Amino acid sequence: MPFKLTILGSSSALPTSERYPTAQVLNILGRFFLIDCGEGTQIQLRRQKIGFSKIKHIFISHLHGDHYFGLIGLISTLNLLGLKTDIHIYSPSELKNLIQPQLDFIKGKRKVNLIFHPLNFKKPQKIYTDKRVEVFSFPVKHSISTCGFLFKEIQKHANIKKEAILKYNIPIAKIKDIKAGSDFITDKGEIIQNIKLTKIPPQPRSYAFCTDTAYYEPIVEIIKDVDLLYHEATFPEEMKDFAQKTLHSTATDAANIAKLANVKKLIIGHFSARYNDASIFENEARIVFENTVSAKEGKTYKVK
Amino acid sequence: MPFKLTILGSSSALPTSERYPTAQVLNILGRFFLIDCGEGTQIQLRRQKIGFSKIKHIFISHLHGDHYFGLIGLISTLNLLGLKTDIHIYSPSELKNLIQPQLDFIKGKRKVNLIFHPLNFKKPQKIYTDKRVEVFSFPVKHSISTCGFLFKEIQKHANIKKEAILKYNIPIAKIKDIKAGSDFITDKGEIIQNIKLTKIPPQPRSYAFCTDTAYYEPIVEIIKDVDLLYHEATFPEEMKDFAQKTLHSTATDAANIAKLANVKKLIIGHFSARYNDASIFENEARIVFENTVSAKEGKTYKVK
């Protein structure tokens, strides 16, 4: 059952010849969540062989162009492909107005139905849920209103062991209670503890996306213990002053957040175009938080 | 003295993992003309190591997204780089309105000054000129208003031979006339023919860009004898009906136009995403017009 993140773009505001602006796809149990949509996202989706038709939910962190300029091209392509589908866009409310004239221009031929969900920049909010997955937005600290996103599997009930049903002759009517944690009393009055009847369900997995943001401790409680954290690291420590001025993080900042939040793995990205080689960021972050990798276009990170 | 075309994107509406939507840069004598600006143009410019600051004139053939969705990203980047410069955009008049909300959103920080020049879709028109280069737009035939572009060097006056000035003792006052074609009469009354006094100037070079368009013979007179013609060939002949329906050309159509117009070299492009390999287009066109090549990202075609 997949839970994996594919990086489509790891650059900051200025793309380089190697790096695209921010975009990534999170596949949780076959749901494909597109997170940010910088210029070139549709080309990167093609390269990763991720079918356009799988994208139904798009999360836009903020309205700096490197996080959304690829959206109109993607919508246009979905449309040309004749996909009659709902696309949910979770974004700052102004996004709709920014692309409305372009949407109107292709309106006659529009088949895709866009549903905009405005983000809340005052407090964390649940913005998506289904039976197995929920998504939260939460404000981060940047030069314009920006949200991070937290994606979580929902804790499943325990599964009942088939052999236990046979062994203790458990009626169907009791199964729901047992799955929810009840013990079982046999015909002879013997109490069978729940632990003997059920298999422990897998731990729900989680991913948090935090870009663009300055070092901002209030997010720690929200992203606590996630399996995977993507946190921006636009600059190395040698540019700390500039990072603070522009409300971005250094690699050390990202690692400190990862450490405080006790995450399992940290991916850093959104690297300044001044740096060709990401190892300066990675080396710096690892001093504080060992399990750090630097984002790279086309790389996929799985959570087991 | 350069006259060369670099292909940044050769795909049609849907990009592939190999091909970008339409964009190309024509360098005439150090002037960099950007022709169309599909999504990803700025990344392709970086890859070709063409400095953003060189782009002062942008020509947008029509308002299908694959020909202009990269414009806002490029403008945004020029702005982030702090370039205080005029950028002239030659395009359908609606373009300004389509991107205005996005321009407004970055307005406070805008340094680049955009000057929009609306195209004329009724008749050919000179849209740019300086001492050495002129550019014309001309209507082509597509599903929405679309122009082709013709770029021409201006015929230079002949250069006077230095040795002739000494030999015939030509006064400075006469040089302008001789350059313009006059003969020279020496003190002794001897007539020296102009041909003995001047060097023949190089032939002015020319390039025509025709996409998107159906097969459309009225353009032949306009692009007659150009050194280099880029003509769309979205489909091979096996899809001729669909080409006609969508107002695109086949490779054979493009070759027929090249032949009728007596151009020196034909580049075909804007290939449908259905075809990975461009050789089907190239082979087809060469039956009609031998000197055909298929456009490829990063390739540069020089006119000597």
Q: How many CB atoms lie within 10 A of CB A110?
A: 16
Distance CA B260, CA B215 (A): 12
Give residue A108's pLDDT band: very low, low, confident or very high (50, 70, 90). low
Residue of B nearest to A97 (CA): B101
Asked if A262 contacts A256 with a C-beta cutoff of 8 angstroms, the reply is: no
What CATH number is associated with residue B95? 3.60.15.10
Same domain for B275 and B146:
yes
Instruction: For an interface test with A, give the residue of B77, B100, B107, B212 to mutate (most A CBs within 10 A).
Output: B77
Q: How large is the angle between the packed helices A251-260 and A279-288, nearest 10 degrees? A: 30
Predicted local confidence at residue A11, as pLDDT: 96
Q: Which residue blocks in B39-147 are alpha helix, DSSP H?
A: 41-47, 71-80, 94-105
Q: Do A43 and B40 touch (CB under 8 A)?
A: yes
Predicted local confidence at residue B156, as pLDDT: 85
Q: Answer whether residue A219 is part of any domain.
A: yes
Same domain for B171 and B219:
no
Distance CA A198, CA A192 (A): 11
Q: Answer whether residue A300 is part of any domain.
A: no
| Of A175, A199, A223, the domain-final residue | A199
Percent of residues, chain A, with pLDDT higher than 70: 99
Give residue A156's pLDDT band: very low, low, confident or very high (50, 70, 90). confident
Q: Answer whether residue A299 is part of any domain.
A: no
Whether B94 contacts chain A with CB within 8 A: yes
Whether the pLDDT of residue B108 is over 70: the answer is no
| Of A178, A199, A220, the domain-final residue | A199
- Written as six digits, the tokens of A21 are 């602006």
Same domain for B184 and B122:
no
Q: Do B15 and A69 touch (CB under 8 A)?
A: no
Same domain for B169 and B104:
no
Whether the pLDDT of residue B44 is over 90: the answer is yes
Q: Answer whether residue A302 is part of any domain.
A: no
Same domain for B170 and B151:
no
List the beta strands (DSSP E) in chain A: 3-9, 23-28, 31-37, 55-59, 86-91, 113-118, 125-129, 133-139, 147-153, 159-160, 184-185, 191-192, 198-199, 206-210, 228-232, 265-269, 292-294, 300-302
pLDDT digits (tens, 9 = 90+) for B195-228: 999 998 889 999 999 999 999 999 999 999 999 9
Residue window 153-192, chain B: list those with CB within 8 Å of chain A: none
pLDDT digits (tens, 9 = 90+) for B122-142: 999 999 999 999 999 999 999
Q: Answer whether residue A217 is part of any domain.
A: yes
Q: Answer whether residue B304 is part of any domain.
A: no
The interface pTM score, or ipTM, of the predicted complex is 0.91
Q: Do A65 and B102 touch (CB under 8 A)?
A: yes
Q: How many CB atoms lie within 10 A of CB B191?
A: 9
Q: What is the domain extent for residue A239?
A: 3-156+202-294
Give residue A241's pLDDT band: very low, low, confident or very high (50, 70, 90). very high
Distance CA B111, CA B132 (A): 29
Q: Cβ contacts (< 8 Å) between B70 and chain A: which residues?
A: 39
Predicted local confidence at residue B245, as pLDDT: 97
- The letter for the amino acid at B118 is P
Same domain for A210 and A172:
no
- The letter for the amino acid at A216 is Y
Cβ-count burial of B217 within 10 angstroms (0-12 exposed, 13-18 middle, 19+ buried)?
Answer: exposed
Whether B97 contacts chain A with CB within 8 A: yes
Asked if B223 contacts B148 with a C-beta cutoff of 8 angstroms, the reply is: yes
| Of A139, A167, A199, the domain-final residue | A199
Tell me what the mean pLDDT of segment A109-123 comes to: 92
Between the CA of residue A37 and those of A73, A96, B221, B237, what are the distances in Å?
10, 14, 44, 36
Predicted local confidence at residue B200, as pLDDT: 86
Whether B108 contacts chain A with CB within 8 A: no
Same domain for A59 and A128:
yes
Distance CA B83, CA B113 (A): 9
Same domain for A95 and A221:
yes
Whether B14 contacts chain A with CB within 8 A: yes
Average pLDDT, chain A: 95
Per the structure, how many domains does chain B have? 2
Whether the pLDDT of residue A27 is over 70: the answer is yes
Tell me what the mean pLDDT of segment A131-156 comes to: 97
**Cis amide leading into B212 (omega within 30):** yes
Asked if B178 contacts B170 with a C-beta cutoff of 8 angstroms, the reply is: yes
Least confident segment among A39-48, A163-172, A213-222: A163-172
Percent of residues, chain B, with pLDDT higher than 70: 99
Whether B73 contacts chain A with CB within 8 A: yes
Rounded to two decimals, what is the model's pTM? 0.92
Residue of B nearest to A15 (CA): B43
Q: Answer whether residue A301 is part of any domain.
A: no
Asked if A28 contacts A151 with a C-beta cutoff of 8 angstroms, the reply is: yes
Mark whether A66 is an active-site residue.
yes
Tell me what the mean pLDDT of segment B29-51 comes to: 97
Nearest to A285 by CA among A207, A213, A229: A229
Whether the pLDDT of residue B106 is over 90: the answer is no
Residue of A nearest to B105 (CA): A98
Same domain for B95 and B123:
yes
Nearest CA-CA distance, residue B97 and chain A, Å = 7
Q: Answer whether residue A36 is part of any domain.
A: yes
Average pLDDT, chain B: 95
pLDDT digits (tens, 9 = 90+) for B8-22: 999 998 889 889 999
Same domain for A206 and A192:
no
Same domain for B163 and B144:
no
Specify the DSSP element, H or E, that contains B8. strand B3-9
Nearest CA-CA distance, residue B82 and chain A, Å = 12
Same domain for A95 and A236:
yes
Tell me what the mean pLDDT of segment A270-281 comes to: 95
